[in-house]
Amino acid sequence: MRPELGRTAVILAGGLTQQSATELIHSGLIDLAAFGRPYISNPDLVARFRRGVPLTTSDPETFFGGGAVGYVDHPTAAEAPTNA
Protein backbone atom coordinates (compact mmCIF):
# COMPACT_ATOMS: atom_id res chain seq x y z
CA MET A 1 0.00 0.00 0.00
CA ARG A 2 2.83 2.42 0.78
CA PRO A 3 4.01 2.96 -2.82
CA GLU A 4 0.52 4.00 -3.92
CA LEU A 5 0.38 6.60 -1.17
CA GLY A 6 3.29 8.59 -2.48
CA ARG A 7 4.08 11.40 -0.02
CA THR A 8 0.87 10.91 1.97
CA ALA A 9 1.61 10.28 5.63
CA VAL A 10 0.06 7.27 7.34
CA ILE A 11 -1.23 8.03 10.83
CA LEU A 12 -2.51 5.19 13.00
CA ALA A 13 -4.55 5.36 16.21
CA GLY A 14 -6.21 2.69 18.27
CA GLY A 15 -4.81 0.79 21.21
CA LEU A 16 -1.24 1.86 20.59
CA THR A 17 1.39 1.81 23.29
CA GLN A 18 4.67 3.66 23.23
CA GLN A 19 6.39 0.41 22.31
CA SER A 20 3.98 -0.66 19.56
CA ALA A 21 3.95 2.84 18.09
CA THR A 22 7.73 2.98 18.06
CA GLU A 23 7.96 -0.44 16.42
CA LEU A 24 5.39 0.47 13.75
CA ILE A 25 7.21 3.69 12.90
CA HIS A 26 10.61 2.01 12.82
CA SER A 27 9.22 -0.76 10.59
CA GLY A 28 8.08 1.88 8.09
CA LEU A 29 4.46 0.74 8.24
CA ILE A 30 3.25 4.09 9.60
CA ASP A 31 4.65 7.60 9.74
CA LEU A 32 2.91 8.92 12.83
CA ALA A 33 1.18 7.43 15.86
CA ALA A 34 -1.84 9.06 17.46
CA PHE A 35 -3.12 8.53 20.98
CA GLY A 36 -6.66 9.13 22.24
CA ARG A 37 -7.50 7.58 25.60
CA PRO A 38 -3.96 7.71 26.98
CA TYR A 39 -3.96 11.49 26.45
CA ILE A 40 -7.19 11.93 28.39
CA SER A 41 -5.68 10.54 31.57
CA ASN A 42 -2.12 11.69 30.93
CA PRO A 43 -2.00 15.38 30.01
CA ASP A 44 1.80 15.07 29.96
CA LEU A 45 1.80 11.94 27.79
CA VAL A 46 4.83 12.90 25.71
CA ALA A 47 6.86 13.81 28.80
CA ARG A 48 5.90 10.49 30.37
CA PHE A 49 7.00 8.63 27.26
CA ARG A 50 10.29 10.49 27.21
CA ARG A 51 10.98 9.87 30.90
CA GLY A 52 9.57 6.34 31.13
CA VAL A 53 6.93 7.38 33.66
CA PRO A 54 4.05 4.86 34.00
CA LEU A 55 0.73 5.97 32.54
CA THR A 56 -2.45 6.67 34.48
CA THR A 57 -5.29 4.45 33.29
CA SER A 58 -8.26 6.30 31.80
CA ASP A 59 -11.80 5.76 33.08
CA PRO A 60 -14.29 4.99 30.27
CA GLU A 61 -17.17 5.80 32.63
CA THR A 62 -16.27 9.48 32.32
CA PHE A 63 -15.66 9.59 28.56
CA PHE A 64 -18.92 10.76 27.01
CA GLY A 65 -20.95 13.45 28.72
CA GLY A 66 -21.61 14.11 32.35
CA GLY A 67 -19.19 16.97 32.92
CA ALA A 68 -15.54 17.79 33.21
CA VAL A 69 -14.65 14.98 35.62
CA GLY A 70 -12.18 12.63 33.97
CA TYR A 71 -11.11 15.22 31.42
CA VAL A 72 -9.46 18.04 33.30
CA ASP A 73 -8.57 16.51 36.66
CA HIS A 74 -5.87 13.98 35.82
CA PRO A 75 -2.57 15.13 37.30
CA THR A 76 0.70 15.34 35.45
CA ALA A 77 3.45 13.08 36.76
CA ALA A 78 4.95 16.08 38.57
CA GLU A 79 1.62 16.79 40.28
CA ALA A 80 0.78 13.20 41.21
CA PRO A 81 1.17 12.16 44.83
CA THR A 82 4.07 9.83 45.52
CA ASN A 83 4.25 6.88 47.89
CA ALA A 84 7.44 8.24 49.43
Ligand X SMILES: Cc1cc2nc3c(=O)[nH]c(=O)nc-3n(C[C@H](O)[C@H](O)[C@H](O)COP(=O)(O)O)c2cc1C
CA atoms within 13 A on the CB side of 14: 3
Based on the shown chain and the rule CB under 6 A, indicate whether residue 66 belongs to the binding site for ligand X.
Answer: no
Residue nearer to ligand X on the CB measure, 26 or 64: 64
- Helix intervals (H) in 1-84: 2-5, 18-27, 37-41, 45-51
Q: Which of 21, 38, 42, 56 binds ligand X (CB under 6 A)?
A: 38
Residue nearest to ligand X (CB): 36
Based on the shown chain and the rule CB under 6 A, indicate whether residue 23 belongs to the binding site for ligand X.
Answer: no
Closest listed residue to residue 60, CA positions, set 50, 69, 51: 69
Based on the shown chain and the rule CB under 6 A, indicate whether residue 69 belongs to the binding site for ligand X.
Answer: no
Q: Which of 3, 14, 52, 65 binds ligand X (CB under 6 A)?
A: 14
What 3-state DSSP class applies to 45?
helix
Give contact residues for ligand X (rule: CB under 6 A). 13-16, 35-38, 63-64
